[in-house]
Amino acid sequence: MPLYEFQCFECGLKFEKFAKAKDQEKECQCGSMAKRQQTGSFSFSFNQTIRDPVPQNTGVASIDHHIDRVIGKSAEMSWAAIESRNSDKREVMRDYQLDSKHAIGIDPEGHYRPITSQEIQASTVARNLNNKAMGVIKRVPKEEREKRVHIKKVD
């Protein structure tokens, strides 16, 4: 069965549905009948398994297109910011001849800088403590961890 596009003139919803070639109307979510739109191409579908996340489909093509563009722009800006931060870190490591990303800190203005030996020591202690705590947590079964969590109500 081919996939057709339908438009509801009562609520404005535009949606796709599988329909027989003779079907000119399909019931919309609002209860009124939506008319089949003329399309310039013929579409069909094979049975397929979807393996990746599927983008949101509101049924209104212009909204879906806008959402996809916003998501794409957000991802582009996020990756640009990540690359900029990584570039700044590499520059500090090169300029100060640092061999570890753990030897870099960030100042209140948001600039990367080499950290002092005292800060490195404190960071190492904190990282080791965290690793030890995570090891203990992993050994305790999840059900037991959930029983141990007690939230006290503060009046």
**The pLDDT value given to residue 155:** 54
pLDDT of residue 94: 93
Ramachandran region of residue 28, left (φ > 0), alpha (ψ -120 to 50) or beta? beta
pLDDT at residue 56, as a whole number: 57
Q: What span, in angstroms and rounded, lies between the C-alpha atoms of 6 and 24?
A: 9
Q: What is the pLDDT of residue 84?
A: 93
List, run by run, the mean pLDDT of 10-residue segments along the chain (155 residues). Answer: 82 84 86 80 53 60 76 91 93 90 87 91 92 85 69 55
- Are 7 and 19 in contact, with CB atoms under 8 Å apart? no
Is there a contact between 3 and 16 (Cβ–Cβ < 8 Å)? yes
Residue 28, burial from CB neighbour count under 10 angstroms (0-12, 13-18, 19+) = buried
Q: How far is C-alpha 67 from the chain's CA centre? A: 13
**What local confidence, expressed as pLDDT, does residue 79 receive?**
94
